[in-house]
Amino acid sequence: MHSSLKIVQFLQRIESTKKLPSKVLSRASSSKSRIPSNLSRKYIPNADEMKEVFKMIDKDRDNKISVKDLQKVLTELRGKDMAEEAEKMVNAADSDRDGCINFKEFMEVHNNGGGIRLLEIETAFSLCDLDGDRRINAKDLEGLLKRLGKERSPEDCERMVCNVARDGKGEVDMDDFIIMMTKTMHLQSG
């Protein structure tokens, strides 16, 4: 289920990513060999960024994620009813039993079990790749944003994808995605 939340994080990140200087881009390309292949490797998310993700899910802005908030976002993103999953997720994360996920509980979800697994990031990639061609292009992005009620022009989507696609061809592949999603996370040692 973390994978669905990772889509929100991806959209938050791709919308806030500025064009990388070519120096950074080439460094990212040359670091290709460092992409971890161990699927059980775990990442600890960055708290500031998770705050933004939290805000995107907290639709009514009361600083708590209710089942309703989560159901709305998940259903929009996945294009099918996610009521049951939303309820399960809130139940699993709600340690003070007030029926909602506050930010502290939200972070605990991601830190418990030692962080985010690479496998979850890979699943998130597949969920973002709406047409299933193993690339995320401007069309996939436009579709995802539309599901969240964010209308973006094809040109805007093109620009956002180009900001993170290392090949400059306007398509995000799995490696681009992993680099992008783990950039600000700490790799858990041990």
**From the list 47, 91, 98, 108, which residue makes contact with Ca ion (rule: CB under 5 A)?**
98
At 148, which amino acid appears? L
Decide whether 42 or 110 has the Cβ nearer to Ca ion.
110
Q: Is residue 167 near Ca ion by the rule CB under 5 A?
A: no
Distance of alpha carbon 52 from the chain centroid: 11
**From the list 120, 140, 142, 176, which residue makes contact with Ca ion (rule: CB under 5 A)?**
140
Number of residues interacting with Ca ion: please give it, by CB under 5 A.
Answer: 14
- Interactions with Ca ion, residue window 115-134 (CB under 5 A): 129, 131, 133
Q: Is residue 69 near Ca ion by the rule CB under 5 A?
A: yes
**From the list 58, 120, 142, 176, which residue makes contact with Ca ion (rule: CB under 5 A)?**
58
Q: Is residue 176 near Ca ion by the rule CB under 5 A?
A: no
For helices 103-111 and 83-93, give the axis angle rounded to 10 degrees. 90
Q: Is residue 96 near Ca ion by the rule CB under 5 A?
A: yes
- Window contacting Ca ion (CB under 5 A); options: 14-22, 110-118, 136-144, 150-158: 136-144
Q: Is residue 81 near Ca ion by the rule CB under 5 A?
A: no
Q: Is residue 94 near Ca ion by the rule CB under 5 A?
A: yes
Contacts with Ca ion, residue ranges (CB under 5 A): 58, 60, 62, 64, 66, 69, 94, 96, 98, 129, 131, 133, 135, 140
